[in-house]
Amino acid sequence: MDLPNSAASARLQAHFFDGRSARPQRVQAWVHEGQLHLQSEEDQSLRHFPLREVVWPERQRHGQRQAELPGGGLLSHHEARTWDDWAQASGLRDSLTVRWMQSWRYVALAFVLSIAVVAGLWAWGVPWAADKGVALIPPAVEQQIGDQALSWFDQKMLKPSKLARAQQDAIAERFAQALQKAQAKAMARDRGAKPWPAYQLHFRDAGEAMGPNAFALPGGNIVMTDALVQLLDKDSPQALVGILAHELGHVQHQHGMRMVLQAGMVGTLAGLVVGDFSALIAGVPTVMAQAAYSRDFERESDALARQLMLDADIQPRVMLDFFDRIEALRKKKGDRDSLPIAFASHPADAERKRFFGAP
């Protein structure tokens, strides 16, 4: 509160507690020359306190008013309205925040601004901070996190691959050659083109649960399931290269780490707004954020994969065969819950088919 400079002295009947006894004393209170004066109605004794040292209550419509006095005393009044009128007449001013909260117009403004801030943070703030944050994480730490994630998958869902060693090596070799070719093309086009990130290719048997699938983990671990190799290797081997290029896009853009950071930030944001109310409700935005940001990441990776395929003289159209086969598989199974989990958060297949099918 701002302090008054006038010598106004409206009187207010209030209760004073001295901080040592629970007994209220009836007092008259007034403000004069920068001091709050109290006079007891019982023994007429006088007390005074510098206005600056008094902690004044904030004006609201409801509740009682209590001013904390230096030395542990308390000045209390049951009628909020009477107190507020007295305080105003005595020249005590509300803080800016309190005046803001008292006006419905400014409250509406705060509401609109809050939504704008949340939207801005969602669209730019969080991705920007994740970019900066990811750059700060040492590669060794990212590698460690990725390795841990892989060993978690190995324990819970994955078994060693049943593919022949030669077949695994052939796929890895085919991909490495495509990378080399694309790299040369990219360098010729733009001398400052970034080199491909380091990656490790892992083949695993994921059983029925995961089906034909591939995913990238932090630190450059790319996992491809046996089912995916069996689906494509014989008839459209170049689609496998396309899928690996897509996963390399995740590695290049460090999507794994960015997702951890972005989901964490959205969770914190939600916690700030509704967190103390219900963990369940605060968790919903986090899940929504993961799906939304994940679709952005997939588009980013698709773009990289398409460019890489073009540079390596592979027609991006070969990916259409992959989408058709996945769709056929899904139809054959007859239900939606066997959908490969990594693809549930992908953009719609139709959109991706248009993207890869474009001339």
Where on the chain is the footprint of another protein (CB under 8 A)? 17-24, 55, 57-58, 60-66, 68, 72-74, 76, 78, 97, 100-102, 104, 107, 110-111, 113-114, 117-118, 121, 141, 144-145, 147-148, 150-151, 154-155, 158-160, 202, 268-269, 272-274, 276-278, 280-281, 284, 334-337
- Residue among 151 and 180 whose Cβ is closer to another protein: 151
- Residue among 125 and 237 whose Cβ is closer to another protein: 125
- Residue among 257 and 308 whose Cβ is closer to another protein: 257
- Residue among 132 and 336 whose Cβ is closer to another protein: 336
> Which residue type occupies 105?
R
Contacts of 345 (CB under 8 A, 6+ apart): 290, 291, 294, 295, 298
Tell the smallest beta-carbon distance from residue 92 to another protein (Å).
17
Q: What is the dihedral of CA 146, 147, 150, 154, to 10 degrees?
A: -170
- Residue among 16 and 297 whose Cβ is closer to another protein: 16
CA 159 to chain centroid, in Å, comes to 33
Tell the smallest beta-carbon distance from residue 29 to another protein (Å).
15
Tell the smallest beta-carbon distance from residue 235 to another protein (Å).
27
Concatenated DSSP letters for 207-257? HHHH-S-EEEEGGGEEEEEHHHHHHHTTT-HHHHHHHHHHHHHHHHTTHHH
Of 308, 343, 306, 351, residue with least CA distance to 326:
343
Tell the smallest beta-carbon distance from residue 175 to another protein (Å).
19
CA 260 to chain centroid, in Å, comes to 9
Is residue 329 classed exposed, middle or buried when 0-12, 13-18 and 19+ CB atoms within 10 A define those classes?
middle
Of 121, 124, 137, residue with least CA distance to 260:
137
Tell the smallest beta-carbon distance from residue 246 to another protein (Å).
22
What is the Cα–Cα distance from 113 to 103, expressed in whole angstroms?
15
What is the Cα–Cα distance from 317 to 333, expressed in whole angstroms?
26
Tell the smallest beta-carbon distance from residue 146 to another protein (Å).
10
- Residue among 154 and 321 whose Cβ is closer to another protein: 154
Tell the smallest beta-carbon distance from residue 274 to another protein (Å).
5
Q: What angle do CA 29, 32, 34 make, to 5 degrees?
A: 110
- Residue among 256 and 316 whose Cβ is closer to another protein: 256
